Structure 1
Amino acid sequence: MEVIRELVDLVSRNKLKSIELLGQAEQGRTSMVNSLYFKIASGEFISDEEAASYYFGTLPADQGYRKLKNRLKNRLINAVFFIDTKQPGYTDWDQAYITCCKEWAAVKILLNRGASKVAVDLALKIFKHAQYYQFSELLVNISKILRLYYSTRQPDARKLKYYDNLHAEYVGLWQSENLAEDLYIRLVHNHLLNRSQATPGSSMAKTYYEQLRPLMEEHRSYHFLRHVYLLKVAALMEEGNYMETALACDEAIGALAEIAFVPPQALLTFLYQKLVCHIQLKDYPTGRVVVERALELENEGSYNWYKNRALCLLLALHTHNYQQAYSIWQHATSHPSFKQLGKRSAEHWKIYEAWLQYLIFIGKLSVYSPETNSKFRLNKFLNEVPTFSKDKKGMNIPILIIQILFMIAQKRFDAVIDRMEAIDRYCSRYLKQDENYRCNVFIRLLLQIPKAHFHPQAIRPRAERYLAMLRQHPLQISPQGHEMEIVPFEDLWEMTVATLGRKGG
């Protein structure tokens, strides 16, 4: 069902009418295929079990249901070729790429059926667009066909030499682009398998970047430069050198800006990386400049817009601009498109809400809004983030920390004591001296509070050892620190100790 739902969502978002998509139903009746499409699109069916039971009273393995689903799938795939790329949301690059791909498919079919003159005429048209937008794979394939055509079907020595030279040039470009992409994929894959912090000087990203750097003089295509600079940025990020990383992002943006067409997404990638640097450096003014530049390239309510808003919120939290952080959260979550966010993205915003509610609870943030009058329910919040609650080495960490902070602020000391042993085991099992090192230290710092019987003065001597460890491993050199530390731990510690000295809860 996931494949069908993705296709239905794609076609629905592109506003293809059902009559265009599925064909007109016989005798004016809604066909079963149309019916299945609309019920999936409306959210009435979210599983094969529901659909199979509704139409056939059987399980998804039933032959009749599988035929029905395959008919819908095939018609949806055919409909992809009729998506109107002139509607909002499609960049010039998107339009060119989709059009070239569709017309290239037509060229292959025409050649297969022996219509070589028509095929070549269309291929030459595609070739011009592919050259402008640097679609290297298409350039390799089209130059190959043109070279063959002018050597055998329509012999022309001059054109043969011309396309033969171009073919050799584009093969070299395509190979370099593939190498750059391959090295970047290997880096990302290795990071996902092994998230431990790399030792400075032994960076895989740095090795890959140095391997590609000599090729930059010859190849300046968008696809090649994008991956080379992603590797350079990753190498500097691994070293915790955020000032140099920000400069590398500027270099990447400058190099890409020299290309006539550059997709906004390419520039946004490096603007987001630069914004992360300013979050780590707690540089709010410069970060705001980056935010505003990114907003100019984004469509409000798009995936990238929400990514921008999330980074801007974190920048505000890391620089004590709590009121601004709340305004960003409120604007993003009240936007009409928020309901269309995927589950993981929506859970991120639930986590941000919990942290903002904590700041409200301890008096660091004053909000006069009907939405904040109702008491924040911790258990309800935990039920709303099921995906990240399972991510023990990732986003479950800020979820766990906010639970402890709320319990301490609410003076639920017995609950903290009851959870001490389980939290200690969690640290030992999941949080080691890698990118989660600061998280491990901070949670162990929080565990000193019950050991000191929740007395502010008695806690300070116990805390000094762990505070020194945080100082020795500052946020600025902690990979992904801005994601795990929604509020910097040093700030949180001062807030936590302050809540212990207050009466009530």
Structure 2
Amino acid sequence: MKDLIDLIHIITKPKLREVELMNDSRPGTSKLQDFYTHIAEGQFQDDDTAASRLYGASKDAPVYQKLRKNLKDRLVNSLFLIDLKQASYTNRQKAFYECYKEWAAAKILFGKNARNAAVGIARKLLKISRKYEFTELNVDICHTLRLYHGTMDGDYAKYQQYHQELMTYEKLWILENKAEHYYIELSIGFVNSRAPKADIQAKAQEYYAEIEPTLKTYNSYQLHLCAHLVEAAIYSSINDYPSLIDVCDRAIAFFEQKEYTAAIPLQVFYYQKAICHVQLREFDLAKQATEECLKYSDNGNFNWFKTYELNFMLHMHEGNYLQSQAILYMVMQHQQFADLPENIQGIWKISEAYLHFLVQIKALDTAESGISKKRKFRLNKFFNELQVFYMDKQGMNIHLIFLEILFNIANHQYDELIDRVEALDKYRMRYLQDGVVLRCNYFLKMLLQIPKSSFRKADILQKAAPDFQALMALPIEMANQTFEIEVLPYEKLWEYALNCLE
């Protein structure tokens, strides 16, 4: 069902009316329209529900599979008929969609032996593709034109021209792919985990040393994007925020000099800058960076959600909980929130749980915001929904442990907390002894002193004092941890936990 949902987000009803794909009277069209409408309105989130509602059958029923295929085929075909040059797109984005749409037409014309028309399109596209640095498309077009002029047209000069150009772009394409491969190698372990990876810096240094000399020869968009991301990993892996800011500033300066708007790189590096400033507690600079980042993000795309994730964290660390709450409800009620990857939705659900903890202890007055009743929060459902993080022992699973303890304390469920002390202590000693999660280790030890000291505040303060001092001696800006690991500063959560005992 996710494939149909993605297509329907792009091909909206007004666009369908423009191309008249749903306005015919052929048999089955009415059912097709119903199917489309139910998905567009969010009533069908999976194939089982759709098949049951439409036919009273399972998703494997031939009649449902036929309807599903018919709708998908129409939606895919309509992509070539609707106008993809939206006002919100940058000039490079518009050129990308237009070029690949035209190139698809040219390839079909070559296949149908309409070579004169196809060559005309190819030459026109190559000019645009060169300007916007679509290297892979340059390779494909030059390869086709070389073949045409060498074997059909017999024009040796043009054959040589496109051959030389093809060799140049192929060499660049190989370099771009190598840089992209290195970036993926450094990133793949973080998709479902926020646990630090100790070997990242050495790998990133090795990869960047190999790529860096090529940057002086080529001004390629893709090569510089991936190379700067690899370079950034050298410093992000050890949380060297000043050095990382320097990498971001150099990357931003490079992409701002392009003759077109390089939206994606500018989003990426302003986002990285914002993370650095949050970690360095430079909140005003972080706000400036997120504002710049949002200029290049389309409402509802992946980067838009990630930027607001950081914005949420920024306001939480500032203590501006009402603003954090407003951001969270805006994001979680967005029509495309349900289409986000499970791990990204999970981060927002963890953020929501922290807000509900603040509501529970009256540190956040939801009446002021007027949005307290928009989402119901159930703690048991929350834990059941976040299975994706249970294996992330040094990453996002830590939140689930802290939230369980904090809600136990807030709700005075002391017996449940006492029963978990031994298991949580074993978890701490097994997974949180690493230097990159030291703040988590100190905070969990402090929290466990609450049941160990029989919930007597004076005893808790005395026994937790060494770990509290160790936590204070290792502030967030010096801790080697990913920024998502601390939605609220542990010092503040400790204060709230102690207040619950009063």
TM-score, scaled to structure 2: 0.87
> CA–CA distance in 2 between the matches of 1:238 and 1:13?
45
Comparing 332-341 with 171-180, greater Cα deviation is found at: 332-341
Compare 103-112 and 197-206 and name the one that shifted more. Answer: 197-206
Amino acid of the structure 1 residue aligned with 2:454 = H
Q: Give the alignment of 1:315-354 within 5 angstroms.
A: 315-318=314-317, 321-323=318-320, 325-331=321-327, 333-334=329-330, 338-342=334-338, 344=342, 345=344, 347-354=346-353
Counterparts of 1:461 and 1:34 in 2: how far apart (Å)?
A: 68
- The 8 Å contact of residues 203 and 238 in structure 1, kept in 2 or not, is answered as no
Contact 1:253 1:267 in 2 (8 A): yes
Report what 1:391 is aligned to: 389
8 Å contact from structure 2 (residues 308, 327) kept in 1: no
Partner of 1:117: 116
Deviations 1:288-332 (A, max 9, x none): 2212322333455655444333312312333xx223x42243155
Distance 1:8 1:479 in 2: 42
Instruction: Please state how far the C-alpha of 1:275 moved relative to its aligned partner.
Output: 0.9
In 2: Cα distance, 1:463 partner to 1:446 partner: 8
1:239 corresponds to 2:238: yes
Show structure 1 runs of 5+ residues with no match: none
Question: Is contact 2:200–2:234 with CA below 8 Å preserved after alignment?
Answer: no
Q: CA deviation at 1:2?
A: 3.0
Q: In structure 2, do the counterparts of structure 1 residues 370 and 243 end up closer, same or farther at CA, with 3 Å as the change threshold?
A: closer
In 2, Cα distance between the equivalents of 1:399 and 1:196?
14
1:326–1:356 Cα contact (<8 Å) kept = no
Deviation string 1:106-150 (CA, Å, 9 cap, x unpaired) is 111111221211111010111011011101011111112222333
Query: 2: distance between equivalents of 1:48 and 1:359?
Result: 38
The one-letter code matched in structure 1 to 2:483 is H
Residue identity matched to 2:409: I
Give the 3-state SS of the residue equivalent to 2:81 in structure 1. Answer: coil
Structure 2 matches for 1:252-401, cutoff 5 A? 252-299=251-298, 303-318=302-317, 321-323=318-320, 325-331=321-327, 333-334=329-330, 338-342=334-338, 344=342, 345=344, 347-359=346-358, 362=361, 364=363, 369=368, 371=370, 380-384=378-382, 386-388=384-386, 390-392=388-390, 393=392, 394-401=395-402
> Could you say what the CA RMSD is over the residues aligned between the two structures, in angstroms?
3.2
Q: TM-score, normalised by structure 1?
A: 0.86
Which residue of the partner structure matches residue 420 of structure 1?
Answer: 421
Residue 6 (structure 1) aligned with residue 2 (structure 2): no
User: Does structure 2 retain, via aligned residues, the 8 Å contact 1:14–1:84?
Assistant: no
Which amino acid in the other structure matches residue 446 of structure 1? Answer: L
Query: Hey, what does 2:249 align to over in structure 1?
Result: 250
- Correspondences of 1:101-180 after superposition (within 5 Å): 101-180=100-179
Matches within 5 A, 1:182-193: 182-191=181-190
Unmatched 5+ stretches in structure 2: none
- 2:380, 2:99 → 1: CA distance? 47
**Relative to 1, partners in 2 of residues 1:76 and 1:464: Cα closer, same or farther, differing over 3 Å?**
same
- Aligned-partner SS, 1:16: helix
Of stretches 301-310 and 124-133 in structure 1, the one that deviates more from structure 2 is: 301-310
Give distance in 1, aligned partners of 2:337 and 2:356: 22
Q: For residues 360-407 of structure 1, what are the alpha-carbon distances to aligned partners after superposition, in whole Å with 9 as ceiling and x for unaligned?
A: 555655665264788x98x72442564335512243432431332233
Distance in 1, matches of 2:81 and 2:166, equals 31
Amino acid at match of 1:2: K
Supply the distance in 2 between the matched residues of 1:329 and 1:194 (Cα, whole angstroms). Answer: 25
Change (3 A) 1:334 1:287: closer
Change (3 A) 1:396 1:18: farther
1:492 partner letter: L
Aligned residues: 495
Describe the shift of the 1:25–1:172 C-alpha distance in structure 2 as closer, same or farther (beyond 3 A).
same
Distance 2:40 2:295 in 1: 32
CA gap of 1:335–1:108, structure 2 versus 1, over 3 A, is closer
Equivalence for 1:449 = 450
Corresponding residue for residue 64 of structure 2 = 65
Residue 484 (structure 2) aligns with: 483
Which amino acid in structure 2 is aligned with residue 453 of structure 1? Answer: S
Distance 1:404 1:56, change over 3 A: closer
Farther-moved stretch of structure 1 (264-273 vs 428-437): 428-437
C-alpha separation between the residues in 2 aligned to 1:65 and 1:191? 38
CA contact (8 A) 1:329 1:349 kept: no
SS of aligned partner of 1:178: helix
Structure 1 residues 292 and 128: alpha-carbon distance in aligned structure 2, compared to 1, 3 A threshold: same
Find the counterpart in structure 2 of residue 458 from structure 1.
459
C-alpha contact 1:350 1:385 (8 A) present in aligned 2: no
Identity among equivalent positions (%) equals 32
1:309–1:328 Cα contact (<8 Å) kept: no
